[in-house]
Amino acid sequence: MARSCDLMRGCLYFTAASLSRIITRMAEEAFAPTGLSPSHAFVLMAAAENPGIGPGELANRLSLAPSTVTRLVDLLVERGLLTRQSQGRTSRLAATPAGLALLMGVEKAWKRLHSTYADILGPAGDRLAAEIDAACRKLDGDKRDV
């Protein structure tokens, strides 16, 4: 029988979870100067790029549960970085001037994060990201809209 260490290293679940924990720590450090978590920054960026986007479309684009998007949006609205306007049963999101002003810092954080892992992984980091994205699409039945 294979040793458990060998099994874990060859297991997509184990290795993906391990990678997630490591890259999350790196991302949180990179985003600390913005005062936003990486997830909040993604929501802000998507709303800024798509004024009037609905929470459902945002959840689909970011591959997040609608309840997670609601929680992230609530904090951004509370902090004055997003607006939420109701239109019947739906709502539309847009970045506020304060949110737009924060985008430069968010972009610097993304560059910091990329630089951090690129320094360690080299060009393999970008290839790995593309391969993980392709695997996610296959495993999820290509439901993600990007």
User: Residue 143 has what pLDDT?
Assistant: 58
Distances (CA, A) of 88 to 32, 85, 91, 92: 37, 10, 8, 10
Element (H, E) at 100: helix 97-121
Structure tokens at 14: 């184990």
Rounded CA separation 45/50 (Å): 9
User: Residue 9 has what pLDDT?
Assistant: 77
User: Residue 27 has what pLDDT?
Assistant: 97
pLDDT, tens digit only, all 146 positions of the chain: 567 767 777 788 999 999 999 999 999 999 999 999 999 999 999 999 999 999 999 999 998 999 999 999 999 999 999 999 987 888 999 999 999 999 999 999 999 999 999 999 999 999 999 999 999 889 988 655 54
User: Residue 137 has what pLDDT?
Assistant: 87
